[in-house]
Amino acid sequence: MEKKKWRTAISWHFDREAYVRGYKLSDLVGNLTFTEAIYLVLKGELPSEKERQMLDAIFVATVEHSIAPPSVIAARAVASGGNSLHVAVGAGILAFGEAHGGALEGAMRFVQENCQENPERIVSEYLKLGKRIPGYGHRYYREYDPRSKKIMDVAKRLGFYGNYCQFSEEVEKAIEKVKGKRLVMNVDGAIAAVVSEMGFDWKLGKGFFIIGRTAGLVAHVYEELTMEKPFSKRLDEEEEVEYLGKMPQELPEKYKKS
């Protein structure tokens, strides 16, 4: 049969009913939790109870983390410009990048490709090249990231603490030894190790953070739209901005048209 232009294995309609990964959508409603439905749509199969609990813990860890990160600043600034909820939430998602949220993809790839290697050798190689190891370091947490610790604890309890998790913790120790500075395994690093244990492809990495944190962004944008006046995110230049430009000067005569 000729290959069609658009193809999908995710869902289809049969007899005027939607089926997701082969299951009737109306059978899933009221029976699956949100996390089970997300697992189904991403992985193509239903999760076990332990897989559901593990993924649930991961989403809870990502749901919100203060007003400070770039994505929340972007989302609330765009909302304060007079935009609707979906535009502002979209702006927040676009702020996810290698330093915030987006590190999950690189962190998953890092553990999946290097897990068999010697952690100290890999760390030395990265540091020698001046490359950042995705999943390590945090602006706020210097000793440990409490979210990572909890995710690892849950992984141990549910049987998802395997080679990837062990490798990730060894890398944290190796960074401290080789660099002489502690860079904590951050939430992206911990999630990367655990979802790798669960058999997810690193190319899905950013998706886990997008799915979890979108709830927090919606709450922030709603708060901005309902609690603050439009334009409230205008900076106070005197208080918050350092001016680095030229001092006032006359426009040269030859440019003056009036």
Ligand X SMILES: CC(C)(COP(=O)(O)OP(=O)(O)OC[C@H]1O[C@@H](n2cnc3c(N)ncnc32)[C@H](O)[C@@H]1OP(=O)(O)O)[C@@H](O)C(=O)NCCC(=O)NCCS
Task: Kindly tell me which of 38 and 187 has the beta carbon lying closer to ligand X.
Answer: 187
Q: Could you tell me which residues come within 8 angstroms of residue 24 by beta carbon, excluding any fewer than 6 positions away? A: 17, 18
Q: Least distance (Å) from ligand X to the CB of residue 151?
A: 13
By CB under 6 A, name the binding residues for ligand X. 98-100, 103, 132-139, 181, 183, 186-188
H or E element in which residue 23 lies: strand 23-24
First to last CA, the chain: 73
Q: With CA atoms as reference, report the closest residue to 55 among 71, 32, 73.
A: 32
Within 10 Å of residue 73's Cβ, how many Cβ atoms? 16
Task: Kindly tell me which of 108 and 133 has the beta carbon lying closer to ligand X.
Answer: 133
Helical ranges in the chain per DSSP H = 25-28, 34-43, 49-62, 70-80, 85-94, 103-114, 119-128, 146-158, 163-179, 187-197, 205-227, 237-240
Tokens 């979108």 identify what position? Answer: 214
Q: Least distance (Å) from ligand X to the CB of residue 147?
A: 9
Q: Least distance (Å) from ligand X to the CB of residue 135?
A: 5
Q: Least distance (Å) from ligand X to the CB of residue 184?
A: 9
Task: Kindly tell me which of 45 and 98 has the beta carbon lying closer to ligand X.
Answer: 98
Task: Kindly tell me which of 21 and 109 has the beta carbon lying closer to ligand X.
Answer: 109
Task: Kindly tell me which of 70 and 81 has the beta carbon lying closer to ligand X.
Answer: 70
Q: Least distance (Å) from ligand X to the CB of residue 118?
A: 17
Query: How far apart, in whole angstroms, are the C-alpha atoms of residue 129 and residue 232?
Result: 43
Q: Least distance (Å) from ligand X to the CB of residue 145?
A: 8
Task: Kindly tell me which of 83 and 114 has the beta carbon lying closer to ligand X.
Answer: 114
Residue nearest to ligand X (CB): 137
